[in-house]
Amino acid sequence: MVHQVPEDLKEALLSIPELLEKWNKLTPLARNEWICWTTIVKQDKTREEHIKRLQEQIVEGKKRPCCWPGCPHRKTKKS
């Protein structure tokens, strides 16, 4: 499943030019992981915290959310 960038995340990305530049250099899979990690939470406060961490970590050079097993919506290949 490919996640769409929600408005709150889009605003966060556009607010920091360096962040947007690094975001655009991520692979589509990495961007999808960040979007899922940000949107899968249940509470607004947690979502805001994830967006803030995303901003900081991508600017620092991180490519994927730390300590997260990955998007549960991604289909796995069957042998």
Residue owning tokens 């991604």: 74
Tokens in use for 78? 């069957």
**Contact present, 68 and 37 (Cβ < 8 Å):** yes
pLDDT of residue 78: 55
Q: Which comes out higher in pLDDT, residue 74 or 49? A: 49
Domain range list for the chain = 7-60
- pTM for this predicted structure: 0.87
Q: Which comes out higher in pLDDT, residue 67 or 41? A: 41
User: Per-residue pLDDT tens for 33-65?
Assistant: 999 999 999 999 999 999 999 999 999 999 999
Largest separation between any pair of C-alpha atoms in the chain: 43
